[in-house]
């Protein structure tokens, strides 16, 4: 009991600042300069992180603190978003800035079987200290495998030589809209006829919806939900309503949306306008994956042209909704519509639980219509040609057209607009000039990474919605990856599981932990099939979204259809 | 059957779900256990752990029962093979990821993961383990052991949804996803405020309290007890549980009280071990050495100036000295300072002792230093000094104005409710010279110049009159004297005031409109309003704003002066003020006087007594010669403390009752060792007028005695036949004297822990919102009182160019007597700092962390520079909790003429490098 009254004080030094990281004035000035007059609204957080990343090649801890202050957010609110997306190089205190150049080698299945891994290792050894070589998930050019991306420039059928050459050019992010073909940024004569007809009252809303239902156009992002029905549901909830356009195609093997956006963007935009009008959406958010840099520049220019083409005059019958572009940042999960909405709002792209469905409460809580690019693309054409035209397409008892993204061991990979319900055999023979020389069909992925792996013996099954479930597979976005006798399905399955592990948002236990455990187990020489099956069931039954629910499909179908690969 | 209930089937039996209930909630209510980890009552359901999956007929995948509400006729199974397999699968995955919490120092009972594993009979995890992150033990209180983390985000929701401190988050993604503080910073380097809400929310011990970890490790098998009580610090009145083993508090958790919804702040949760400080007073002490008033802090060898005495001797000595003065020099030679940190019963008995035993009204307490001016203005204008609406009413307010208050620091849990409201859409207007943490959440932050409150508020009133935003009906029917206000504000157009207060006219007009036209609006204020010589005028303007716009007397609309101490409301209610008996009955009101003379059976003085600062003056004048001070520390808390200390030292007989050798006790003739809050029973009244029950958790150390016993003993020695053997006796007597709490019996408080007043009878639930129909003034009308500009008494000049604002900081309470003896709080803020703008620091050629000398006309102190952009240039801020650099050495002892409150928020100082 001889302790003095005042315990310590002089011995311990108090903090010389308020709690937490303080912001250097010059960094604050840098951020204020970058943001300029832009709204200090957290929904643009990801856009602003891009500004910093593009300007600096990285995002420092000071940047994050200063950006947080500018947006009246806490640091963690910015940090957790920045670190969620793989395209942001977030530095912690003391971290060295990344090298001046980044070369991303696609690690996804089509590029992997086309020598992507060899290319990666080659570059790792050959590139200097100013170049960072890393793996990346599918960049949406699977018909040009192996793919590389040098900074923001995509290199098709990449070789070390092509990459070395690209590295000598000025930084890709500096390329401007001047490189965009003029046809892509000026509205062509006669465009938007279906939209104008509708907007001028030539086509009543009820008839529009009836036409869509009659055509039975289904969601071509992969879910296959009927577009007309979706409009009705969204309309049943009181406005204001919103629309999101899912241009985040990230399913490995899928590149059809890019295909249409490059070749006929105006038909896509027309579809956007019609769908937005159909549900009276006041705001449209077009969420484009970050990998499509050229496309983003083109679409931004198109949007400007569109707004000039339909000026916002009170008297104009063509009042446009407010349309905003949103730039993804390297997250496959944002292709899931509710994760995409979170990302549109400037947050981590983690899927929401349903109910409520986004039709009821979507972006900023508004009833929201979500459409894939290709779905929108076909709307004007169906309106011009009639529902019967669309319905009249198809094969093997199926209706409509599908854009199959074909890659892998075929002679001419690419986007194949073919009748829905075509079989793989027919697709390869009629649209892809057959298998590559020396390759014979062994297996195929009917629906990208998620749709399972089917054996050659099932190459006669119609490829469409609803036709593959019986075989524990699904079509999804119709990303067909063809494997030959030179490929091992178990390698493909592991590649796909590693992809899911890489892309899991981490929200729910079955997917976050399950994908990693599965990837570890599948990397072992002997698969513990019982444990993997058990794990798969938990993932299928208990994951929040389609990613975790579908992630076991490749491994389950591999074990089911290719037992020879697992024989001990 | 319930109206609006839904019939569905769960595990084969028909069940009813109430509106809004989830399957998990129904199951829990029905006694059906479903494993769950990420769900915690009180936090939004996220459904991320997936342990609670159930099978619903007709659905493709399983559903999380914590998020799903049943629909009519739904057939749900939580015990089907498929559901159980998923539940077990999830638990097994999480087991494989984590290290048991027991290995990181928490009792196994806290590990909900392993509890469910046992219940679901999941024994071993067959999956490969993960690489485990390093522990972060940097913070004095909070240990982070992420090897036990299951990423359920309960901590994040606690930090961001409940407390809205926004420190914790989930970084990265997938299997790399990780709980982080700020930018994955060490906790002690982060913006973490140490509230520990995350620890309370964590199901696995990944976040744990170091203190409890230590205590439970030492005695893991001893079954402790849990005592429900109230926090001893600020006026918010958070209910808490003291967890006790032996005679030691091991840790504290939040209880679901009306004012805190299970939340606590760093002081409430981690500031409890002052009770076990070796510095506690444990024996009565009698002075043996001469007094020395010239000191910066209590000397280390203070014991040499006292000798230990028996209680009998000490009490005889204490009472004898007082009695002698009373009998020889008259009652007015005595005065008493009671405490806003004691119980209602102690406050009541203390003022009764002074009034009956001393025979004078010279009784006051620290309310004089905090909200005396607010109370004066409220009594004058409204007829009642208490708040009109509880803090939680902010949830019903469209607009909330917080002016001259820093609740994230001083009322952290109240601030959390304000931030909750903002998240739900309330527009917050923060008006303060300093950029506080709350400003980040504000739709409008008005960083006005210190001392210009009346200019700004009158400009808002001008706008309301000028733009016809007055609620004419309310003004006509329920107020008086509006004409005078209207005339007075004519000279205060926003355009004319803009330069004076430093806020653009357009912004003044905008916020005035926002407030006036809101469907409901609250004004909350703190010491920034009250501690000026124009403090009463400041409060008058706020009252006028509410009256002119009719923003009072309904849910979400009202006036709320945030009370500082845990029982400052109750102590004032109990009559611990010189001009009023209990329940604000004036001592000079003959009927009130007669009432108390009858009740107390003695003649009572009719002359209002002296206030805190006036008493010190009276000592200097030789009028007051003896004092009894209980649990107050005027030698630290009064303005110009050197002067105050000299006055206290000049007393011929000073009795101090406290738990530590405070700066005031150091000047005492006799020191009586008293009890800390967890060592006694008693009631306290919070800022919401909520009377709450504090319960004894531990015994006091050594010979320390309960305060009520000490007052009773002194009373007996002053000739009173007192038998207050239990607080209940004092409380029930108090109830007879106070109509406001007539309906709140001791038994009722024991039963319910909290009842709000006014409460007329035992069947009355109490009225959280008052003035609904009329105001408690004679004509039932509230009164407008116009205010004009009065500048602060001491303006900066070339010699003293800075404005000094004093106040508190999050970790330290008042004069630091308790908190500086609490290890965690002391570690977090170990010594005195001066907050200063970086530009000023640069002009002084100084750097952050350097030692600065701060001087005023009254004295000088030295302390460390804390660079702070939130402090405006030309202004410095110093917390007054640090004896080694007592801010009140500098402050100006000028008083508001009505509230008699000193001008703590404005004086002129110089700042220079040491």
Is residue B159 a contact partner of residue B168, using CB atoms and an 8 Å limit? yes
What is the pLDDT, as a whole number, of residue A179? 67
Which residues in chain B (637-666) have CB-CB distances under 8 A to chain A?
660-661
- Angstrom distance (rounded) from CA A129 to CA A58: 16
- Model confidence at B398, pLDDT cuts 50, 70, 90, reads very high
A388-399: pLDDT as tens digits: 999 999 999 999
Measured in angstroms, the CA of A512 and the nearest CA of chain B are apart by 5
**Cross-strand pairs, B445:** B430
Mean pLDDT of chain B: 95
What is the pLDDT, as a whole number, of residue B549? 98
Cβ contact A507–B868 (<8 Å): no
Q: What is the mean pLDDT of residues A279-306?
A: 95
Q: Chain B residue closest to A84 (CA)?
A: B172
Cis peptide before B128 (omega within 30 of 0): no
B826: nearest CB among A8, A73, A515: A8
Helix-then-strand count for chain A, H and E: 23, 13
Phi-psi region of A458 (alpha: psi -120 to 50; beta: other; left: phi over 0): alpha
Chain A residue numbers touching B848 (CB-CB < 8 A): 16-17
Question: Number of A:B CB contacts under 8 A?
Answer: 236
Q: Does B882 reach chain A within 8 Å, measured CB to CB?
A: yes
B864: nearest CB among A13, A18, A514: A13
Cβ contact B93–A21 (<8 Å): no
A140-172: pLDDT as tens digits: 999 999 999 999 999 999 999 999 999 988 765
B94: nearest CB among A509, A531, A540: A509
What is the pLDDT, as a whole number, of residue B554? 96
Which residues in chain B (249-308) have CB-CB distances under 8 A to chain A?
277-279, 282, 297-298, 300, 302-303
A43-96: pLDDT as tens digits: 999 999 999 999 999 999 999 999 999 999 999 999 999 999 999 999 998 999
Q: Chain B residue closest to A8 (CA)?
A: B830
* Whether pLDDT at B733 is above 80: yes
Q: What is the mean pLDDT of residues A133-143?
A: 95
Measured in angstroms, the CA of B646 and the nearest CA of chain A are apart by 21
* Whether pLDDT at A98 is above 80: yes
- Model confidence at A201, pLDDT cuts 50, 70, 90, reads confident
Chain A residue numbers touching B882 (CB-CB < 8 A): 9
What is the pLDDT, as a whole number, of residue A171? 64
What is the pLDDT, as a whole number, of residue A6? 35
B298: nearest CB among A6, A8, A11: A6
What is the pLDDT, as a whole number, of residue A11? 54
Cβ contact A19–B191 (<8 Å): yes
Is residue B48 a contact partner of residue B105, using CB atoms and an 8 Å limit? no
Q: Chain A residue closest to B702 (CA)?
A: A1
Is residue B377 a contact partner of residue B536, using CB atoms and an 8 Å limit? yes
Q: How far is CA B44 from CA B39, B41, B157, B160, B392, in A?
A: 8, 8, 8, 11, 19
What is the pLDDT, as a whole number, of residue A1? 28
* Whether pLDDT at A132 is above 70: yes
Q: Does B604 reach chain A within 8 Å, measured CB to CB?
A: no
Cβ contact A77–B849 (<8 Å): no
Measured in angstroms, the CA of B471 and the nearest CA of chain A are apart by 33
Q: Does B93 reach chain A within 8 Å, measured CB to CB?
A: yes
Tell me the DSSP string of B440-483. Answer: GG-SEEE-PPTT-HHHHHHHHHHHHHHTT---HHHHHHHEE-HH
Q: Does B73 reach chain A within 8 Å, measured CB to CB?
A: no
A337-374: pLDDT as tens digits: 999 999 999 999 999 999 999 999 999 999 999 999 99
Measured in angstroms, the CA of B182 and the nearest CA of chain A are apart by 4
Q: Chain A residue closest to B276 (CA)?
A: A1
Sequence-distant (≥ 6) Cβ neighbours of residue B299 within 8 angstroms: none
Q: Chain A residue closest to B438 (CA)?
A: A72
Chain B residue numbers touching A10 (CB-CB < 8 A): 831, 884
Tell me the DSSP string of B108-147. Answer: GGG-HHHHHHHHTT-----SPPPPPPPPB--SSSEEE-GG
The enclosing H or E element of B363 equals strand B363-364
Sequence-distant (≥ 6) Cβ neighbours of residue B427 within 8 angstroms: B398, B399, B400, B443, B444, B514, B518
B648-696: pLDDT as tens digits: 999 999 999 999 999 999 999 999 999 999 999 999 999 999 999 999 9
Q: Does B851 reach chain A within 8 Å, measured CB to CB?
A: no
Q: Chain B residue closest to A74 (CA)?
A: B166
State the CB neighbour count (10 A cutoff) for residue B128.
11
Which residues in chain B (155-194) have CB-CB distances under 8 A to chain A?
165-177, 180-185, 189-193
pTM: 0.95
Chain A residue numbers touching B89 (CB-CB < 8 A): 510, 534-535, 537-538, 541-542
B44-74: pLDDT as tens digits: 999 999 999 999 999 999 999 999 999 999 9
Q: Does B848 reach chain A within 8 Å, measured CB to CB?
A: yes
Measured in angstroms, the CA of A385 and the nearest CA of chain B are apart by 37
- Model confidence at B212, pLDDT cuts 50, 70, 90, reads low
Chain B residue numbers touching A507 (CB-CB < 8 A): 48, 177
- Angstrom distance (rounded) from CA A239 to CA A280: 8
Cβ contact B190–A20 (<8 Å): yes
Strands B444-446 and B427-431: parallel
- Model confidence at B219, pLDDT cuts 50, 70, 90, reads very low
Is residue B403 a contact partner of residue B226, using CB atoms and an 8 Å limit? no
B414-463: pLDDT as tens digits: 999 999 999 999 999 999 999 999 999 999 999 999 999 999 999 999 99
Which pair of tokens denotes residue A59? 């995002």
Measured in angstroms, the CA of B151 and the nearest CA of chain A are apart by 8
Is residue B673 a contact partner of residue B705, using CB atoms and an 8 Å limit? yes
- Angstrom distance (rounded) from CA B770 to CA B387: 8
Which residues in chain B (488-547) have CB-CB distances under 8 A to chain A?
none
The residue of A2, A12, A19, A521 whose CB has the most chain B CBs within 10 angstroms, and thus the best one to mutate to test that interface, is A19
Is residue A37 a contact partner of residue A44, using CB atoms and an 8 Å limit? no
B702-712: pLDDT as tens digits: 999 999 999 99
User: To which residue do tokens 């971290």 refer?
Assistant: A95
Helix-then-strand count for chain B, H and E: 30, 39
State the CB neighbour count (10 A cutoff) for residue B873.
13
Burial class (CB in 10 A: 0-12, 13-18, 19+), A215: buried
Measured in angstroms, the CA of A8 and the nearest CA of chain B are apart by 7
Query: ipTM score here?
Result: 0.95
Cβ contact B868–A18 (<8 Å): yes
Tell me the DSSP string of B271-313. Answer: --GGGG-TTS--S-EEE-S------SS--TTGGGGEEE--HHH
Phi-psi region of B552 (alpha: psi -120 to 50; beta: other; left: phi over 0): beta
Chain A residue numbers touching B174 (CB-CB < 8 A): 501-506, 512, 515-516
Which pair of tokens denotes residue B132? 């485990």
* Whether pLDDT at B874 is above 90: yes
* Whether pLDDT at A4 is above 50: no
Q: What is the mean pLDDT of residues A236-253?
A: 97
Helix (H, G, I), strand (E, B) or coil at A511: helix
Chain B residue numbers touching A531 (CB-CB < 8 A): 126-127
Cβ contact B831–A5 (<8 Å): no
Which residues in chain B (479-498) have CB-CB distances under 8 A to chain A?
none
């Amino acid at each position: 009991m001889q302790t003095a009254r005042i315990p310590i004080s002089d011995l311990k030094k108090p903090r010389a600042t308020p709690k937490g990281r303080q912001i250097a004035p010059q960094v604050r000035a840098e951020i204020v300069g970058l943001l300029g007059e832009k709204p200090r609204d957290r929904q643009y957080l990801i856009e602003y992180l891009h500004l910093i990343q593009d300007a600096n090649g990285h995002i420092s801890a000071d940047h994050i603190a200063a950006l947080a202050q500018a947006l009246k957010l806490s640091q963690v609110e910015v940090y957790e978003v920045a670190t969620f997306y793989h395209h942001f190089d977030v530095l912690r205190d003391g971290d060295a800035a990344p090298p001046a150049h980044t070369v991303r080698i696609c690690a996804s299945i089509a590029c992997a079987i086309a020598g992507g891994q060899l290319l990666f290792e080659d570059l790792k050894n050959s590139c200097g200290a100013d170049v960072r070589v890393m793996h990346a998930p599918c960049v949406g050019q699977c018909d040009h495998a192996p793919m590389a991306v040098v900074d923001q420039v995509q290199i098709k059928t990449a070789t070390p030589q092509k990459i070395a050459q690209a590295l000598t050019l000025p930084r890709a992010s500096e390329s401007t809209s001047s490189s965009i073909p003029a046809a892509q940024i000026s509205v062509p004569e006669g465009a938007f006829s279906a939209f104008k007809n509708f907007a001028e009252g030539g086509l009543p809303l009820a008839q529009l919806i009836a036409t869509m239902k009659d055509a039975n156009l289904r969601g071509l992002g992969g879910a296959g939900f009927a577009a007309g029905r979706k409009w009705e549901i969204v309309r049943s909830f009181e406005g204001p309503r919103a629309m999101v356009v899912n241009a985040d195609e990230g399913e490995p093997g899928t590149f059809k949306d890019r295909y249409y956006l490059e070749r006929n963007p105006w038909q896509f935009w027309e579809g956007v306008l019609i769908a937005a009008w159909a549900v009276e959406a006041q705001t449209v958010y077009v969420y484009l994956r970050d990998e499509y840099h050229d496309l983003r520049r083109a679409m931004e220019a198109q949007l400007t042209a569109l707004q000039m083409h339909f000026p916002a005059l009170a008297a104009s019958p063509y009042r446009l909704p407010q349309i905003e572009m949103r730039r993804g940042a390297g997250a496959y999960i944002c292709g899931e519509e509710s994760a995409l909405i979170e990302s549109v709002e400037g947050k981590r792209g983690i899927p929401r639980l349903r109910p409520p469905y986004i039709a009821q409460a979507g972006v900023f809580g508004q009833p929201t219509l979500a459409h894939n690019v290709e779905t929108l693309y076909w709307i004007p054409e169906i309106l011009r040609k009639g529902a019967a035209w669309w319905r009249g397409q198809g094969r093997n008892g199926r209706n409509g057209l599908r854009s199959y993204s074909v890659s892998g061991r075929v002679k001419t990979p690419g986007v194949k607009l073919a009748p829905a319900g075509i079989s793989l055999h027919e697709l390869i023979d009629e649209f892809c000039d057959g298998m590559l020389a020396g390759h014979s069909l062994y297996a195929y992925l009917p629906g990208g990474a998620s749709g399972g792996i089917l054996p050659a013996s099932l190459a006669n099954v119609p490829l469409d919605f609803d036709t593959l479930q019986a075989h524990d597979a699904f079509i999804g976005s119709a990303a067909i990856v063809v494997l030959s006798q030179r490929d091992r399905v178990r390698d493909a399955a592991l590649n796909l599981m590693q992809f899911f592990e890489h892309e899991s948002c981490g929200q729910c236990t079955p997917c976050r932990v399950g994908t990693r455990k599965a990837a570890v187990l599948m990397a072992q020489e002997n698969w513990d099939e019982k444990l993997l099956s058990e794990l798969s069931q938990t993932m299928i039954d208990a994951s929040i979204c389609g990613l975790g629910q579908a992630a076991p499909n490749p491994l389950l179908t591999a074990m089911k259809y290719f037992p020879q690969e697992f024989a001990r | 059957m319930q109206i609006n209930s839904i019939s569905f089937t769960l595990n084969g039996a028909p069940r009813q779900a109430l509106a809004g209930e989830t399957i998990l909630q129904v199951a829990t209510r029905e006694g059906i256990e479903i494993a769950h980890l990420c769900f915690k009552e009180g936090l939004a359901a996220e459904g991320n752990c997936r342990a609670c999956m159930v099978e619903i007929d007709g659905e493709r995948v399983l559903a999380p029962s914590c998020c799903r509400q049943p629909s009519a006729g739904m057939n749900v199974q939580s015990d089907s093979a498929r559901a159980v397999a998923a539940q077990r699968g999830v638990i097994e995955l999480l087991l494989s990821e984590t290290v048991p919490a027991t290995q990181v120092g928490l009792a196994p009972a806290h590990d909900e993961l392993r509890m469910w594993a046992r219940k679901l009979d999941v024994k071993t995890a067959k999956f490969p383990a993960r690489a485990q992150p390093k522990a972060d033990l940097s913070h004095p209180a909070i240990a982070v052991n992420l090897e036990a983390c299951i990423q359920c985000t309960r901590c994040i929701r606690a930090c961001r949804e409940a407390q809205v401190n926004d420190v914790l988050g989930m970084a990265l993604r997938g299997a790399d996803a990780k709980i982080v503080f700020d930018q994955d910073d060490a906790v002690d380097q982060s913006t973490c405020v140490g509230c520990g809400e995350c620890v309370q929310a964590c199901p696995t011990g990944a976040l744990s309290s170091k203190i409890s970890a230590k205590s439970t490790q030492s005695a893991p098998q001893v079954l402790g007890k849990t005592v429900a009580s109230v926090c001893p610090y600020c006026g918010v009145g958070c209910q808490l549980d003291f967890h006790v083993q032996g005679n030691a508090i091991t840790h504290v958790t939040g209880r679901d009280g009306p004012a805190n919804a299970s939340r606590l702040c760093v002081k409430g949760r981690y500031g409890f071990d002052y009770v076990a400080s070796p510095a506690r007073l444990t024996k009565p002490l009698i002075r043996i050495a001469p007094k020395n008033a010239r000191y910066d802090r209590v000397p280390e060898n203070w014991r040499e100036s006292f000798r230990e005495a028996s209680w009998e001797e000490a009490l005889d000595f204490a009472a004898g000295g007082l009695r002698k003065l009373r009998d020889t020099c008259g009652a007015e030679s005595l005065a008493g300072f009671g405490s806003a940190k004691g119980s209602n019963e102690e406050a009541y008995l203390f003022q009764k002792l002074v009034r009956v035993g001393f025979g004078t009204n010279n009784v006051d307490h620290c309310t004089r230093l905090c909200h005396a001016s607010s109370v004066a203005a409220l009594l004058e204008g409204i007829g009642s000094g208490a708040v009109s609406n509880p803090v939680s009413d902010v949830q019903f307010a469209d607009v909330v104005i917080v002016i001259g208050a820093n609740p994230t620091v001083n009322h952290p849990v109240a601030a959390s409710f304000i931030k909750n409201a903002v998240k739900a859409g309330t527009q917050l207007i923060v008006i303060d010279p300093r950029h506080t943490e709350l400003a980040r959440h504000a739709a409008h932050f008005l960083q006005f110049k210190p001392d210009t409150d009346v200019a700004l508020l009158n400009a808002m009133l001008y706008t309301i009159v000028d733009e016809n935003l007055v609620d004419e009906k309310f003004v006509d029917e329920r107020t008086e004297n509006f004409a005078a206000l209207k005339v007075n504000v004519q000279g205060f157009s926003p355009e004319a005031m803009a330069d004076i207060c430093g806020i653009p006219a357009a912004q003044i007009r905008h916020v005035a409109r926002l407030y006036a036209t809101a469907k409901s609006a609250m004004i909350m204020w703190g010491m920034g309003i009250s501690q000026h010589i124009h403090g009463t005028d400041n409060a008058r303007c706020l009252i006028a704003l509410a009256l002119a716009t009719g923003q009072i007397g309904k849910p979400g609309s009202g006036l709320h002066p945030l009370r500082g101490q845990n029982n400052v409301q109750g102590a004032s209610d109990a009559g611990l003020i010189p001009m009023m008996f209990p329940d604000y009955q004036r001592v000079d009101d003959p009927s009130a006087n007669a009432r108390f003379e009858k009740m107390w059976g003695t003649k009572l003085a009719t002359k209002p007594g002296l206030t805190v600062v006036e008493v010190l003056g009276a000592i200097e004048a030789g009028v007051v010669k003896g004092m009894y001070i209980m649990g107050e520390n005027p030698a630290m808390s009064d303005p110009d403390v050197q002067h105050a200390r000299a006055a206290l030292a000049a007393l011929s007989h000073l009795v101090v009752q406290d738990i530590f050798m405070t700066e005031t006790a150091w000047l005492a003739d006799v020191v009586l060792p008293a009890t800390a809050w967890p060592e006694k029973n008693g009631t306290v009244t919070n800022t919401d007028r909520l009377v709450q029950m504090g319960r004894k958790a531990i015994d006091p150390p050594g010979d320390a005695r309960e305060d009520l016993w000490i007052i009773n003993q002194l009373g007996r020695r002053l000739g009173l036949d007192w038998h207050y053997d239990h607080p209940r006796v004092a409380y029930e007597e108090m109830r007879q004297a106070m109509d406001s709490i007539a309906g709140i019996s001791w038994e009722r408080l024991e039963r319910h822990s909290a009842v709000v007043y006014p409460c007329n009878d035992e069947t009355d639930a109490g009225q959280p919102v008052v003035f609904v129909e009329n105001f408690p003034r004679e004509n039932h009308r509230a009164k407008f009182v116009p205010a004009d500009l009065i500048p602060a008494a001491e303006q900066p000049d070339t010699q003293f160019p800075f404005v000094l604002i004093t106040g508190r900081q999050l970790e330290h309470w008042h004069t630091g007597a308790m908190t500086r003896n609490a290890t965690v709080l002391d570690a977090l803020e170990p010594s005195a700092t001066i907050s200063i703008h970086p530009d000023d620091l640069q002009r002084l050629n100084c750097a952050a962390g350097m030692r600065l000398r701060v001087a005023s006309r009254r004295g000088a102190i030295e302390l460390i520079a804390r660079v702070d952009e939130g402090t405006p240039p030309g202004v410095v801020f110093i917390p007054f909790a640090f004896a080694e650099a007592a801010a009140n050495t500098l402050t100006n002892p000028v008083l508001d003429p009505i509230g008699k409150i000193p001008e703590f928020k404005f004086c002129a100082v110089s700042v220079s490098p040491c």
